[in-house]
Amino acid sequence: MADDPASAFDMLAADVRWSTFSGDERGKVDGFVRRWRIKPGERVLEPGCGSGRLTDILAAQCGPAGKVMAFDASPRLVRLAQARGLPPHVTLRIANAETVQLAPASFDHIVCFNVFPHLVPQEPIACRLAASLRRGGSFWIAHTRSRIDVNALHRRGPAFMNGHILPTPRKLELLLRRAGLEDIEIEDGADRFMARALRSAPASPSGANGHA
């Protein structure tokens, strides 16, 4: 069904390219991981984890004292992730980003890897995901292709994903700000894309920036 990511993305389960990283992709992922600076003991949310090919890497970064909650709308992809035998500090869920239950301020990082364009409607979903970050926590968007290539791929892909577009840096920055994020850095590269934004403190009535 076109508007249901659960069934729409089930097809990726049969495509081995979504289960492993090519050498080129792995080099880019290693670069992203260095930028994410996930520390032992930190809590990581991975929306749209697919077959879990990144989840294992995130789990290694935060270590057994940390936790990774990874979810995906596609039951077939989550089953593939489950079959990887990921460590016990990883929780896998079948869930849609529009409705997944997330406790406020419960994560240090959110990693949207090759998924942000699909999280439609993007602004309300970014807003609800961002609410699950602690103040100062990082929201990451990363792609192993350029923005132009990602969008071209989606435009010529199945009809349901033709409108799943990675916004221009200017539009993305506005979207992330409206989602309660700040200190935004966007790298719109020739062969990759990465954005980082930090969860801002809610405005206090006095205008002071009260940290818990």
Ligand X SMILES: C[S@@+](CC[C@H](N)C(=O)[O-])C[C@H]1O[C@@H](n2cnc3c(N)ncnc32)[C@H](O)[C@@H]1O
CB of 24 to ligand X, least distance (A): 14
Q: Which one, 75 or 135, has the nearer CB to ligand X?
A: 75
CB of 137 to ligand X, least distance (A): 19
List, edge to edge, every strand of the sheet that includes 67-72: 90-94, 67-72, 43-47, 107-113, 133-143, 193-199, 181-188
CB of 55 to ligand X, least distance (A): 9
Q: Which residues bind ligand X (CB under 6 A)?
A: 5, 9, 12, 18, 47-51, 53-54, 72-74, 77, 96-98, 113-115, 118-119
Q: Which one, 41 or 157, has the nearer CB to ligand X?
A: 157
CB of 4 to ligand X, least distance (A): 9
CA distance linking residue 186 with residue 196, whole number of Å: 6
Please classify residue 149 by burial: count the beta carbons closer than 10 Å to its beta carbon, then call 0-12 exposed, 13-18 middle and 19+ buried: middle
CB of 10 to ligand X, least distance (A): 8
Q: Which one, 70 or 172, has the nearer CB to ligand X?
A: 70
Cβ partners under 8 Å of residue 212, min gap 6:
135
CA distance linking residue 40 with residue 31, whole number of Å: 18
CB of 207 to ligand X, least distance (A): 36
44, 112 Cβ separation under 8 angstroms: no
Q: Measure CA of the first residue to CA of the last residue in the chain; give whole Å.
A: 44
Q: Which one, 18 or 174, has the nearer CB to ligand X?
A: 18
Q: Which one, 22 or 209, has the nearer CB to ligand X?
A: 22
Q: Which one, 115 or 194, has the nearer CB to ligand X?
A: 115
CB atoms within 10 A of CB 163: 10
DSSP state, 121?
S
